[in-house]
Amino acid sequence: MNTYDWDEVFHRLYDKAVKQYQAGNLNAAAYFDAAETAFLASIGHTAQEVFDFAEDACKYGEPSFGTALMIASVRRDYFLVIQKGQSTGRTIRVEDLPAKDAAVEGIAWLPRIIAKAHAKLRGEMPPDLMFGCGGDRKFLKSVGIHPADFLRHVWAVGNDDAKVIAHVKKQAGQA
């Protein structure tokens, strides 16, 4: 498969999703044909994830396409490099995530977004959960970290969530 222009293909599919959403189609599974769905799978992505980006962009004006592409790029790299292009075949359960009001070191939402970031990297997000949702964006804006940079940092430190916490505190001026 030619991966030189994967970002352009992703952009076309994102634009298609925005148009589908604006036309009133809320069925993410019907957005893309088999070849487009296969392309998304080849970069570790799903139609639902593209739908989520398009839906939030249409409803809330964010995330931008650039942010969607950057998040997709981190996931793609993790999928191809760490997972060697193979899905785990698992999906996390929303009820197993830390609560929205859970806090660590006095920082609410952080336990939840760390867990979501790990799931996003592994491609284990359930269809009714989005990494980069409104709550995630609000939290990340408050600490001054771009969603894709947060994902990269979680990837870089592996399972050492203490390093993620320290990074967030430093970025937020709390360290």
For 173, residues 6+ apart whose C-beta sits below 8 A from its C-beta are none
pLDDT of residue 175: 65
Same domain, 132 and 156: yes
> Which among 33, 32, 9 is positioned nearest to 19, based on CA atoms?
32
| Amino acid at the residue 84 | K
> 3-state secondary structure string, the chain?
CCCCCHHHHHHHHHHHHHHHHHCCCCCHHHCCCHHHHHHHHHCCCCHHHHHHHHHHHHHHCCCCHHHHHHHHHHHHHHHHHCCCCCCCCCCCCHHHCCCCCCEECCEECHHHHHHHHHHHHHCCCCCCCCCCCHHHHHHHHHHCCCHHHHHHHHHHHCCCHHHHHHHHHHHCCCC
Same domain, 81 and 162: no
Same domain, 79 and 109: no
Same domain, 171 and 107: yes
Same domain, 113 and 144: yes
Same domain, 1 and 62: yes
Structural domains counted in the chain: 2
Q: What is the mean pLDDT of each run of 10 residues along the chain (175 residues)?
A: 89 98 97 97 97 98 98 98 97 96 96 98 97 97 98 97 96 84
Same domain, 69 and 96: no
Residues spanned by the domain of 173: 90-175
Same domain, 67 and 116: no
Domain boundary pick from 87, 110, 134:
87
pLDDT of residue 3: 83
Same domain, 75 and 127: no
Same domain, 134 and 175: yes
Same domain, 63 and 9: yes
pLDDT of residue 1: 60
Query: What sign results for the dihedral spanned by CA atoms 42, 157, 119, 169?
Result: negative
Same domain, 95 and 82: no
